[in-house]
Amino acid sequence: MGILEKLASLVSFIDNHQWLVTIFVGLFAVLIYWRQRNDTKRDAAKLILQEIRYADQKVRNYRTYDSYNFTEKILPTNSWHKNINLFIRVLTESELDLISKFFSSATYLDEVIKSISDSRNEPFIQTDTPQTEDIPVAIGTGGLSTSDPAKKLIEAISKDIESIYNTPAADKLRRISEKKWYNILF
Protein backbone atom coordinates (compact mmCIF):
# COMPACT_ATOMS: atom_id res chain seq x y z
CA MET A 1 0.00 0.00 0.00
CA GLY A 2 1.57 3.23 -1.19
CA ILE A 3 1.47 6.66 0.36
CA LEU A 4 -1.34 7.81 -1.92
CA GLU A 5 -3.48 4.81 -0.99
CA LYS A 6 -2.91 5.46 2.74
CA LEU A 7 -3.80 9.12 2.26
CA ALA A 8 -6.96 8.19 0.37
CA SER A 9 -7.88 5.73 3.11
CA LEU A 10 -7.38 8.45 5.77
CA VAL A 11 -9.50 10.94 3.80
CA SER A 12 -12.20 8.30 3.41
CA PHE A 13 -12.14 7.56 7.16
CA ILE A 14 -12.38 11.29 8.03
CA ASP A 15 -15.20 11.71 5.51
CA ASN A 16 -17.14 8.82 7.04
CA HIS A 17 -16.49 9.93 10.65
CA GLN A 18 -16.82 13.72 10.55
CA TRP A 19 -18.49 13.75 13.97
CA LEU A 20 -15.33 12.31 15.52
CA VAL A 21 -13.13 14.95 13.92
CA THR A 22 -15.56 17.66 15.08
CA ILE A 23 -15.37 16.37 18.66
CA PHE A 24 -11.54 16.32 18.63
CA VAL A 25 -11.33 19.82 17.16
CA GLY A 26 -13.89 21.11 19.67
CA LEU A 27 -12.03 19.57 22.63
CA PHE A 28 -8.75 21.00 21.37
CA ALA A 29 -10.31 24.48 21.09
CA VAL A 30 -11.72 24.22 24.65
CA LEU A 31 -8.32 23.14 26.01
CA ILE A 32 -6.61 26.06 24.29
CA TYR A 33 -9.23 28.46 25.71
CA TRP A 34 -8.77 27.10 29.27
CA ARG A 35 -5.01 27.28 28.99
CA GLN A 36 -5.11 30.87 27.72
CA ARG A 37 -7.56 31.88 30.46
CA ASN A 38 -5.37 30.29 33.14
CA ASP A 39 -2.24 31.94 31.71
CA THR A 40 -4.01 35.30 31.84
CA LYS A 41 -5.13 34.66 35.42
CA ARG A 42 -1.62 33.54 36.46
CA ASP A 43 0.02 36.60 34.90
CA ALA A 44 -2.55 38.95 36.46
CA ALA A 45 -2.00 37.35 39.89
CA LYS A 46 1.77 37.84 39.56
CA LEU A 47 1.34 41.49 38.61
CA ILE A 48 -1.17 42.19 41.40
CA LEU A 49 1.14 40.59 43.97
CA GLN A 50 4.03 42.72 42.74
CA GLU A 51 1.89 45.86 42.99
CA ILE A 52 0.83 44.94 46.54
CA ARG A 53 4.43 44.24 47.58
CA TYR A 54 5.69 47.50 46.11
CA ALA A 55 2.94 49.63 47.68
CA ASP A 56 3.36 47.87 51.04
CA GLN A 57 7.06 48.70 50.95
CA LYS A 58 6.41 52.37 50.14
CA VAL A 59 3.91 52.72 53.00
CA ARG A 60 6.27 50.94 55.44
CA ASN A 61 9.07 53.29 54.37
CA TYR A 62 6.83 56.28 55.10
CA ARG A 63 6.01 54.92 58.54
CA THR A 64 9.72 54.39 59.21
CA TYR A 65 11.16 57.58 57.70
CA ASP A 66 8.08 59.84 57.90
CA SER A 67 8.54 60.87 54.26
CA TYR A 68 7.11 60.16 50.80
CA ASN A 69 9.06 60.86 47.66
CA PHE A 70 7.13 63.07 45.21
CA THR A 71 8.86 61.41 42.27
CA GLU A 72 7.61 57.91 43.08
CA LYS A 73 4.04 56.72 43.15
CA ILE A 74 2.81 54.34 45.81
CA LEU A 75 0.95 52.42 43.13
CA PRO A 76 2.56 53.05 39.71
CA THR A 77 0.16 50.60 38.06
CA ASN A 78 -3.21 49.33 39.22
CA SER A 79 -4.21 46.12 37.50
CA TRP A 80 -6.62 44.97 40.23
CA HIS A 81 -9.60 46.90 38.88
CA LYS A 82 -9.07 45.53 35.37
CA ASN A 83 -8.56 41.92 36.49
CA ILE A 84 -10.81 41.46 39.53
CA ASN A 85 -13.21 39.40 37.40
CA LEU A 86 -10.56 36.67 37.09
CA PHE A 87 -10.58 36.09 40.85
CA ILE A 88 -14.29 36.30 41.71
CA ARG A 89 -14.62 32.51 41.97
CA VAL A 90 -11.30 31.98 43.74
CA LEU A 91 -11.38 34.61 46.49
CA THR A 92 -14.03 35.05 49.16
CA GLU A 93 -16.04 38.27 49.38
CA SER A 94 -13.99 39.45 52.35
CA GLU A 95 -10.72 38.75 50.51
CA LEU A 96 -11.97 40.64 47.45
CA ASP A 97 -13.00 43.54 49.72
CA LEU A 98 -9.61 43.52 51.47
CA ILE A 99 -7.66 43.75 48.22
CA SER A 100 -10.07 46.32 46.74
CA LYS A 101 -9.75 48.50 49.85
CA PHE A 102 -5.96 48.26 49.68
CA PHE A 103 -5.86 49.38 46.03
CA SER A 104 -8.45 52.09 46.62
CA SER A 105 -6.54 53.53 49.60
CA ALA A 106 -3.18 53.38 47.81
CA THR A 107 -4.67 55.09 44.74
CA TYR A 108 -6.21 57.80 46.93
CA LEU A 109 -2.88 58.32 48.72
CA ASP A 110 -1.17 58.78 45.35
CA GLU A 111 -3.79 61.37 44.37
CA VAL A 112 -3.35 63.26 47.65
CA ILE A 113 0.46 63.26 47.36
CA LYS A 114 0.22 64.44 43.74
CA SER A 115 -2.18 67.21 44.72
CA ILE A 116 0.07 68.37 47.58
CA SER A 117 3.12 68.15 45.33
CA ASP A 118 1.42 70.21 42.63
CA SER A 119 0.29 72.89 45.06
CA ARG A 120 3.69 73.08 46.79
CA ASN A 121 5.58 73.25 43.50
CA GLU A 122 3.25 75.66 41.72
CA PRO A 123 5.19 78.78 42.83
CA PHE A 124 8.41 77.27 41.45
CA ILE A 125 7.01 76.31 38.06
CA GLN A 126 6.48 79.19 35.69
CA THR A 127 6.32 78.71 31.97
CA ASP A 128 7.89 82.07 31.03
CA THR A 129 10.97 81.95 33.31
CA PRO A 130 13.68 79.31 33.50
CA GLN A 131 13.83 77.13 36.62
CA THR A 132 16.70 78.09 38.92
CA GLU A 133 15.63 76.82 42.35
CA ASP A 134 15.58 73.26 43.59
CA ILE A 135 12.09 71.87 43.97
CA PRO A 136 11.43 69.85 47.12
CA VAL A 137 10.71 66.24 46.21
CA ALA A 138 9.66 64.66 49.50
CA ILE A 139 6.89 65.07 51.99
CA GLY A 140 8.20 64.58 55.49
CA THR A 141 9.25 66.50 58.54
CA GLY A 142 11.50 68.68 56.40
CA GLY A 143 8.82 69.52 53.82
CA LEU A 144 5.75 69.81 56.01
CA SER A 145 5.41 71.01 59.55
CA THR A 146 3.96 68.71 62.19
CA SER A 147 0.77 70.78 62.33
CA ASP A 148 0.43 70.93 58.55
CA PRO A 149 -3.03 69.60 57.48
CA ALA A 150 -1.49 67.92 54.42
CA LYS A 151 0.89 65.89 56.60
CA LYS A 152 -1.98 64.89 58.89
CA LEU A 153 -4.04 63.78 55.90
CA ILE A 154 -1.17 61.68 54.55
CA GLU A 155 -0.61 60.14 57.98
CA ALA A 156 -4.30 59.28 58.30
CA ILE A 157 -4.47 57.66 54.87
CA SER A 158 -1.19 55.79 55.44
CA LYS A 159 -2.47 54.37 58.72
CA ASP A 160 -5.61 53.19 56.92
CA ILE A 161 -3.55 51.12 54.46
CA GLU A 162 -2.95 47.78 56.09
CA SER A 163 -0.32 45.40 54.80
CA ILE A 164 -1.98 42.57 52.91
CA TYR A 165 1.04 40.89 51.32
CA ASN A 166 1.10 38.13 53.96
CA THR A 167 -2.64 37.50 54.21
CA PRO A 168 -4.67 34.48 53.04
CA ALA A 169 -5.93 36.56 50.10
CA ALA A 170 -2.38 37.20 48.90
CA ASP A 171 -1.51 33.55 49.52
CA LYS A 172 -4.33 32.50 47.18
CA LEU A 173 -3.04 34.92 44.53
CA ARG A 174 0.45 33.50 45.08
CA ARG A 175 -0.80 29.94 44.52
CA ILE A 176 -2.54 31.03 41.32
CA SER A 177 0.60 32.81 40.10
CA GLU A 178 2.71 29.67 40.65
CA LYS A 179 0.45 27.19 38.82
CA LYS A 180 2.08 25.27 36.03
CA TRP A 181 0.79 25.32 32.46
CA TYR A 182 -0.35 21.70 32.61
CA ASN A 183 -2.83 22.45 35.43
CA ILE A 184 -5.44 23.35 32.84
CA LEU A 185 -8.59 22.64 34.80
CA PHE A 186 -7.70 24.33 38.09
Distances (CA, A) of 181 to 1, 29, 32: 41, 16, 11
Predicted local distance difference test score (pLDDT) of residue 127: 61
Taking the CA of residue 131 as centre, how many other CA atoms within 13 Å lie in the half-sphere pointing to its CB? Answer: 9
- pLDDT tens, 115-154? 888 887 787 776 655 555 555 555 554 455 546 888 888 8
Q: Which amino acid is at 5?
A: E
Predicted local distance difference test score (pLDDT) of residue 163: 92
Q: How far is CA 92 from the centre of its chain?
A: 18
The Cα–Cα gap between 137 and 127 comes to: 19
- pLDDT tens, 17-68? 888 889 999 999 999 998 898 899 999 999 999 999 999 999 998 888 887 7
